[in-house]
Amino acid sequence: MAEDGEEKPRNFHEMELDDRILKAIAKLGWQTPTLIQERAIPLLLEGKDVLVRARTGSGKTAAFAIPVIQKILTIKQTAKHQEIKALILAPSRELCHQMCGVIKELTIKCSREVRCVDVAPPVELSVQKPLLVEQPDIVVGTPTRVLKHIKAGYMDLKKSMELLVIDEADLVFSFGYESEVRELMERLPSIYQAILASATLSEDVKNLKSLVLHNPVILKLEEPEIAPASQLSHYHLMAEEMDKATILYALLKLHLIRGKSIIFVNTVDKCYKIKLYLEQFGIPICVLNSELPAKIRCHSVNQFNQGIYDTIVASDEKALEQPGNPNDKNNSELQKSKRKKDKESGVSRGIDFQCVANVINFDFPLDVQSYVHRAGRTARGNNQGSVLSFVSIREKPLLEKVENHFKNDQDDVSIFKSYQFKLDEIESFKYRAKDAWRAVTRIAVREARLKEIKQEIFNCQKLKSYFEDNPTDLQVLRHDKALHTVKIQQHLSDVPEYIVPPTLKGIAGLGRKKRKRENYRTSQGSSSRFEAKKNNPLLSMDFEGFNSKKKKKKNNN
Ligand code: AMP
């Protein structure tokens, strides 16, 4: 107990974890457990069934992966046979892939002792059979794939399995896996330890709970829905569509955004509109939406995580599912998009975009939950982040809803700070932006959508054969290539000196990109001379901030 009577937070090395796990955690740079890890790991090591509700980005994957690995290492000290000991189910291929990645990182120092196989990829079952014959310690997969392997006789869990994890449990039923899960249960042993992890405690989760868990401990962490203000800053900027486009162009082109960014819009068409618009200025950007093949989405996120590109534009699932206003001209598109999306297509839910410094809401999210999900893409684990929302007059009520939702009853303070951007300083950007925005016609967008799907399906084939030969090389295909359905005018990719606002000369500039990226990396980890800006990655976009800094410098001289 701490002196003030409060229980002192437990550190990883106080959790009786195997040295090899502790070394892997150190290698990942995790200094302290997140709240959910601190609470869940000891309970799971004690052998309890646990239902965990934690916000996205809270570190919940490791909260159950660490005890699973620890238990397997312990079992193996005395085990006579190599057997599948743990089954981890997740509702999408992306999440399975991500989960396996986390387990591989956490078992880097005991990779011979603890092996994990992901059966989610949609290849012929027989292709995965040799992997299962070797009896990996952990199998990760969607309920459908796991059931198929069991039925095909490639895997038998009835006698060996001791641990069952269901991640993003609230999506498991809503993604239509109920009958598979029920069937699967009949093929599992009668006694095992089970863990359900979920962002919400919906009716579906309650149903799953009664199906899977025995006398569980329920960990409903009193965590805020979003990361605290010390970790996550929220800015808003009032602007209509054309001004939003101009500001985005200026921010990206002048490299005023530090680190990796996700731009959110509300429709798939808008994703392509933004991509085609920015392409004209030579700004590469990758699109992520539910129409693209799952394998490609996965690969895109991987490349983004590896820092191969810095900017992704995404239309999130919440927005796609929103029935919307029947008079809204976007509504018919929403309906169409809904029809086309595949069963596992959640874009912003559960997928771990790593080290995202900024979330930019080009379109303001349609409800509070969607804002929370988008904001949850940044400030993950113990990292810093910012959300910058562009807000049109029509979107203002949506902003107010979010503002009221998070207003503290006592101090009545808004989470949003107004973002200072002097639009008149980038007058010359306006003309270029207007031309480029208009050049992206509806036909160009439609062609781009089709072209990208074709291109990515072709990539899928290339991916398949390439990765068979080079399984570790993910860098061969890029998803941020230009689509060229709008005529590219070479001169637009340059930023002539005369259009750079005087306050930014010497600060903004091409060729700074690499340095900026490095700045972000250092700001996420060790101390550096950029440490002062660490708390606010978007600070570099504050024109007034620059002014005052420049003035100070002058005065000092
Ligand atoms: P999750 O909620 O499991 O998707 O994790 C969100 C992010 O937090 C991932 O990128 C993890 O790498 C990171 N993370 C998990 N645990 C920690 C920790 N103890 N310290 C710092 N980062 C962490």
pLDDT exceeds 70 at position 8: no
- The domain of 276 spans 232-322+343-426+486-534
Q: Rounded to the nearest 10 degrees, what angle do helices 60-78 and 19-28 cross at?
A: 150
**Which residue is closest in CA terms to ligand 1's atom 12?**
381
Query: Structural domain tally of the chain?
Result: 3
Q: Which of 14-23, 165-174, 394-403, 495-504 has the lowest mean pLDDT?
A: 495-504
Query: How many residues can be counted in the chain?
Result: 557
pLDDT exceeds 60 at position 87: yes
Question: 352 CB less than 6 Å from ligand 1?
Answer: yes
Question: 350 CB less than 6 Å from ligand 1?
Answer: no
Using the mean position of ligand 1's atoms as its centre, give its distance from the Cα of residue 346 in Å: 20
From the number of C-beta atoms within 10 Å of its C-beta (0-12, 13-18, 19+), residue 417 rates as middle
Q: Which of 302-306, 385-389, 390-394 has the lowest mean pLDDT?
A: 302-306
Picking from 190, 100, 80, 112, the residue whose alpha carbon sits closest to that of residue 142 is 100
For 287, the token pair is: 């699109």
Between residues 131 and 425, which one has the greater pLDDT? 131
Quick one: average pLDDT of 155-166?
93
Considering the domain architecture, whether residues 476 and 492 belong to the same structural domain is answered as no
Task: Output the domain CATH number for residue 238.
Answer: 3.40.50.300
Using the mean position of ligand 1's atoms as its centre, give its distance from the Cα of residue 58 in Å: 6
Question: 34 CB less than 6 Å from ligand 1?
Answer: yes
Question: 33 CB less than 6 Å from ligand 1?
Answer: yes
Picking from 211, 123, 198, 134, the residue whose alpha carbon sits closest to that of residue 167 is 198
For 532, the token pair is: 């002062």
Q: Which of 19-33, 236-250, 312-326 has the lowest mean pLDDT?
A: 312-326
**Which residue is closest in CA terms to ligand 1's atom 16?**
59
Considering the domain architecture, whether residues 250 and 283 belong to the same structural domain is answered as yes
In the chain the first and final C-alpha atoms are separated, in Å, by 53
43-62, pLDDT tens digit by residue? 999 999 999 988 767 888 99
Picking from 525, 520, 434, the residue whose alpha carbon sits closest to that of residue 261 is 520
Is position 557 within any domain? no
Contact predicate 154/134, CB 8 Å:
no
Considering the domain architecture, whether residues 497 and 464 belong to the same structural domain is answered as no
Is position 104 within any domain? yes
Considering the domain architecture, whether residues 375 and 309 belong to the same structural domain is answered as yes
Q: What are residue 35's phi and psi, to 5 degrees?
A: -55, -45
Considering the domain architecture, whether residues 473 and 499 belong to the same structural domain is answered as no
pLDDT exceeds 60 at position 519: no
Question: 52 CB less than 6 Å from ligand 1?
Answer: no
Residues paired with residue 87 on neighbouring β-strands, in sequence order: 139, 164
Is position 42 within any domain? yes
Q: Which atom of ligand 1 is nearest to the CA of 355?
A: 10
Is position 285 within any domain? yes
Considering the domain architecture, whether residues 201 and 277 belong to the same structural domain is answered as no
Using the mean position of ligand 1's atoms as its centre, give its distance from the Cα of residue 460 in Å: 29
Last residue of a domain, one of 415, 449, 482: 482
Tell me the residue type at 229. Answer: A
Cβ neighbours of 547 (radius 10 Å):
15
Question: 143 CB less than 6 Å from ligand 1?
Answer: no
Contact predicate 420/543, CB 8 Å:
yes
Is position 327 within any domain? no
Contact predicate 517/259, CB 8 Å:
yes
Q: What is the DSSP letter of 376?
A: T
- 547 Cβ contact list (under 8 Å, min separation 6): 503
Question: 448 CB less than 6 Å from ligand 1?
Answer: no
Question: 60 CB less than 6 Å from ligand 1?
Answer: yes
**DSSP character string of 292-305:** S-HHHHHHHHHHHH
529-538, pLDDT tens digit by residue? 333 344 334 4
Q: What is the DSSP letter of 6?
A: S
Using the mean position of ligand 1's atoms as its centre, give its distance from the Cα of residue 60 in Å: 7
Considering the domain architecture, whether residues 103 and 48 belong to the same structural domain is answered as yes
Q: Which pairs with CB-CB distance under 8 Å and at least 24 residues apart come from 21-24? A: 21/66, 21/69, 21/70, 21/73, 21/106, 21/107, 21/109, 21/110, 23/109, 24/105, 24/106, 24/107, 24/108, 24/109, 24/110
Considering the domain architecture, whether residues 453 and 492 belong to the same structural domain is answered as no
Q: Which atom of ligand 1 is nearest to the CA of 54?
A: 2
Considering the domain architecture, whether residues 203 and 76 belong to the same structural domain is answered as yes
Is position 519 within any domain? yes
Q: Which pairs with CB-CB distance under 8 Å and at least 24 residues apart come from 31-38? A: 31/382, 32/382, 33/9, 33/59, 34/58, 34/59, 34/63, 34/381, 34/382, 35/221, 35/223, 36/60, 36/63, 36/219, 36/221, 36/223, 37/62, 37/63, 37/66, 38/9, 38/10
pLDDT exceeds 50 at position 551: no
Rounded CA separation 152/164 (Å): 20
pLDDT exceeds 90 at position 316: no
Largest CA distance in the chain: 78
Using the mean position of ligand 1's atoms as its centre, give its distance from the Cα of residue 381 in Å: 4
Question: 428 CB less than 6 Å from ligand 1?
Answer: no
Cβ neighbours of 462 (radius 10 Å):
11
Picking from 487, 19, 466, 35, the residue whose alpha carbon sits closest to that of residue 219 is 35
Instruction: Identify which of 226, 380, 383, 384 to mutate to test ligand 1's pocket (most ligand atoms within 8 A of the CB).
Output: 380
pLDDT of residue 67: 97
Mean pLDDT of the chain: 78
Is position 256 within any domain? yes
Question: 508 CB less than 6 Å from ligand 1?
Answer: no
From the number of C-beta atoms within 10 Å of its C-beta (0-12, 13-18, 19+), residue 216 rates as middle
Q: Which of 104-118, 336-350, 384-398, 431-445 has the lowest mean pLDDT?
A: 336-350
Is position 357 within any domain? yes
Using the mean position of ligand 1's atoms as its centre, give its distance from the Cα of residue 198 in Å: 15
Using the mean position of ligand 1's atoms as its centre, give its distance from the Cα of residue 33 in Å: 9
Picking from 205, 143, 149, the residue whose alpha carbon sits closest to that of residue 343 is 143
Q: Residue 207's pLDDT band (boundaries 50, 70, 90)?
A: confident
Q: Which of 45-59, 384-398, 444-458 has the lowest mean pLDDT?
A: 444-458
Last residue of a domain, one of 220, 242, 262: 220
**Which residue is closest in CA terms to ligand 1's atom 13?**
381
pLDDT of residue 410: 56
pLDDT of residue 284: 86
Reduced to 3 states (helix: H, G, I; strand: E, B; else coil), residue 16 is coil
Instruction: Identify which of 382, 383, 384, 524 to mutate to test ligand 1's pocket (most ligand atoms within 8 A of the CB).
Output: 382
Quick one: average pLDDT of 147-159?
93
Considering the domain architecture, whether residues 274 and 376 belong to the same structural domain is answered as yes
Question: 61 CB less than 6 Å from ligand 1?
Answer: yes
**Which residue is closest in CA terms to ligand 1's atom 23?**
381
Considering the domain architecture, whether residues 248 and 159 belong to the same structural domain is answered as no
For 402, the token pair is: 């979010």
Using the mean position of ligand 1's atoms as its centre, give its distance from the Cα of residue 496 in Å: 41
Between residues 494 and 260, which one has the greater pLDDT? 260
Q: Residue 389's pLDDT band (boundaries 50, 70, 90)?
A: very high
Range list of H helices, 89-167: 93-106, 125-133, 143-151
Considering the domain architecture, whether residues 475 and 496 belong to the same structural domain is answered as no
- 42 Cβ contact list (under 8 Å, min separation 6): 10, 15
Q: Which atom of ligand 1 is nearest to the CA of 57?
A: 2
